[in-house]
Structure 1
Amino acid sequence: MIRSRPWRALLAFGLPFLWLALVITWELTCPLATDDALAVRIPLCGAFLAAVVSLCATVRLGPLRELKQAREVARATQQALLRPLPARLEGLAVAAGQLSASPGATVGGDLYEAVSTVHGVRIVIGDVRGHGLPAIGAVAAVLGSFREAAHDECELGGVMRRLERALERHLRERSRAEHPAAGGADPENPLAEEFVTVLLIEISAAGELRAVNCGHPWPYRLHGSAVPLSVADPLPPLGPFPLPATIPLQNCGRLLPGEALVLHTDGAADARDSRGRFFPLEEVLATAALHTPVSPVEVIDRVHRSLLRHTGGRLSDDVALLVLRNDRSRVPVQPGAVQAVRARR
């Protein structure tokens, strides 16, 4: 909660009232107040009007200042949670963008991150059920765990298990805070309706794609067309059910040079127009894929514009997009190496 300093509030409200009291005292006690001359009446009316305007401005601008400060805090919170991604990451062109379903909101329940590790570039995208402060807490728990586990864990399954444990701790702490009658004991089913869909992607130096999916929409591969990266059934979202003893890893082929990968939350695919028709995300991405090379920034801009046009600017859920294009290329064989090979033959 943002609070103004007491002396500033006293000054802001006290000065207009003091000025108004002086004007009233003048009108009641000063002999000139009874003078009908315009040279006296005009300054008196001006002073009274200035006092009223100052008072109204103070009453109006005070909440506006606090609202501006609140938005600045929210913007700083968003940048701390969803840090701006680098434009390039280990030979990959990267872009990300969000649309909020709440007017003026800057932080929602969507999350994404991409980091370079010794295991390759690792990406997470997810969607927390709900909005507001509870969703922000879950986003912070999952992202904070991912930023450490992505570097520490050799396998994506290990990363996902770390995210599960972080979410479980967060839900237990929230449940204890919201149900103090339990005496600080762990509840039997802490916030059983809370869940997070999470997709983990790993892109190796050779462009090999591996994924672990817990209830999240599969991304699209763009290269002249838009094709889902996989059609395998994902695991359940994190929260309601524990992860299996063995977490299945999906091998999704290679991301070739020039190809792009589009990760998204379900707010894009589930958006509807006034007639109840779903947003044609795959068609929009297929159109974007016709322009080569695919620009990650332009893909996000095209989807956002098409989505707002489809829904009439009334989104029912937050939308997050993350696009990566493989700009890596094979190192050309040096002429000397070719001659050496021929000499051996």
Structure 2
Amino acid sequence: MDHRLRAALARGARHTSPFPQAQRDGLGARILSSAVFFAVGTGLMLHAGQMLLRELRQPRDRAGAARGTLFRPLPARIDGLGTAAAQLSADRSAAAGGDLYDVIATEHGVRVVMGDVRGHGIGATGTVAAVLGSFREAVHDEEELSCVLRRLERSLARHLRERATTGPHSDSPAAEEFVTVLLLEIRRDGETRALNCGHPWPFLLSEGHAQLLVGTEPLPPLGPFPLPAELPYADCGRLRPGEALFLHTDGVTDARDGHGRFFPLPAVLAEAVRADPISPQAVLRAVVAQLLRHTGGRPADDVAVLVLSNDRQARRAPSGARDGDTCGSAAGARPATTNPQPTNCQ
């Protein structure tokens, strides 16, 4: 092709192209700018998403830290007693919830607390901390179980006064706060005593049997009214080797399924203790699994359960016989003997 023809065609192409040089340069710049803005925007969105995830995790992390501080892991055995415990919070952002428990070996015997603070969430967690902190000190200092209870009462009253001066921190005013408490003392020979302030009585577990222990009329919960001058404890007899106690909060017995039916705790316990010997961990797993199944995995209230088995080696009493007075039972067994404890507490 003649070089003049080629030059003419080239000039025509330049004049007839839909994208002249300047326009092509502008389009490239816009594409580059769009790519930069897209990259920057994507980075900002990812960063914002990571910040949001961290913020969402923070309440759970704080709740987990609070739980680790309040509920120290129980060893599998405490002074010859097998232990297993679990706590579930109705408020997912406050894993510690409003229920409390602890088991401590002292020179006076193994002392146990199970309690339930009105309401749940962060405010209830502060009350749990006050009661547990007082219990962990008093059980070593006080010889009498009644004096431990009075220490808990004073600690709770002090906590509520301080909370009232700093404003509300829970779903209920400090003046309406109360705590149900069950105190147990299990001595080396298995003799068991109880003080109950408005809390559910425990179940006595033996091979294939779950018997609700019903003692004297419970005292009022701590908080609304002062404790009486005399505090009679319930003498629950001896916890024999191979037997166990199941302690719980009312979040267990009050749990309902989708049809409004209550959780059948006695039947679940009876099924869980068919094996011999009784395993606290097995009983705990069975109850928690059945409870979650019953509630569809979402209990409406805080839940705490504690299983204590007597693993001490000793000769068992004949079947059907128990040493000493028992706390009684729902079937009408002999009621507990009551003994006033002295009031010369620290």
Written as runs of structure 1 = structure 2, the 5 A alignment for 1:9-48 is: 34=25, 46-48=35-37
SS at match of 1:131: coil
Select the residue among 188, 202, 206 that pairs with 1:205. 188
Matched, 1:193 2:176: yes
CA contact (8 A) 1:230 1:252 kept: no
Q: Give the Cα separation in 1 of the matches to 2:302 and 2:163.
A: 23
Matched, 1:106 2:95: yes
Structure 1: tracts of 5 or more residues without a match: 1-30, 180-189, 332-345
In percent, how many aligned pairs have the same letter? 58
Indicate the residue corresponding to 2:163 in structure 1: 174
Select the residue among 96, 119, 127 that pairs with 2:108. 119
Matched, 1:248 2:232: yes
Q: Deviations over 1:103-140 (max 9, x none)?
A: 35312100001101000000001000012232111111
Matched, 1:289 2:273: yes
The RMSD of aligned alpha carbons is 2.1
Q: Give the Cα separation in 2 of the matches to 1:233 and 1:288.
A: 29
SS at match of 1:97: strand
Measure how far apart 1:46 and its partner are. Answer: 4.5
Indicate the residue corresponding to 1:221 in structure 2: 204
CA contact (8 A) 1:266 1:319 kept: yes
Report the count of equivalent residues: 289
Q: Which is helix-richer, 1 or 2?
A: 1
CA contact (8 A) 1:209 1:252 kept: yes
Q: Give the Cα separation in 2 of the matches to 1:191 and 1:294.
A: 42
Indicate the residue corresponding to 1:21 in structure 2: none
Indicate the residue corresponding to 1:320 in structure 2: 304
Q: Deviations over 1:17-63 (max 9, x none)?
A: xxxxxxxxxxxxxx8983657xx887665443321210101111112
1:194 and 1:104, CA in 2 relative to 1: closer, same or farther beyond 3 A?
A: closer
Q: Deviations over 1:155-176 (max 9, x none)?
A: 1111001100101111111112
CA contact (8 A) 2:94 2:121 kept: no
Indicate the residue corresponding to 2:344 in structure 1: none
Indicate the residue corresponding to 1:187 in structure 2: none
Aligned residue type for 1:75 = G
Point out the structure with max Rg over C-alpha. Answer: 2
Q: Deviations over 1:195-246 (max 9, x none)?
A: 0000000110011111000000011111020011234321110011111111
Indicate the residue corresponding to 2:247 in structure 1: 263
Q: Give the Cα separation in 2 of the matches to 1:283 and 1:231.
A: 21
CA contact (8 A) 1:121 1:204 kept: yes
Indicate the residue corresponding to 1:49 in structure 2: 38
1:152 and 1:140, CA in 2 relative to 1: closer, same or farther beyond 3 A?
A: same
State the 4+ residue runs in structure 1 displaced beyond 4 angstroms.
40-46
Q: Give the Cα separation in 2 of the matches to 1:65 and 1:313.
A: 25
Structure 2: tracts of 5 or more residues without a match: 1-21, 316-346
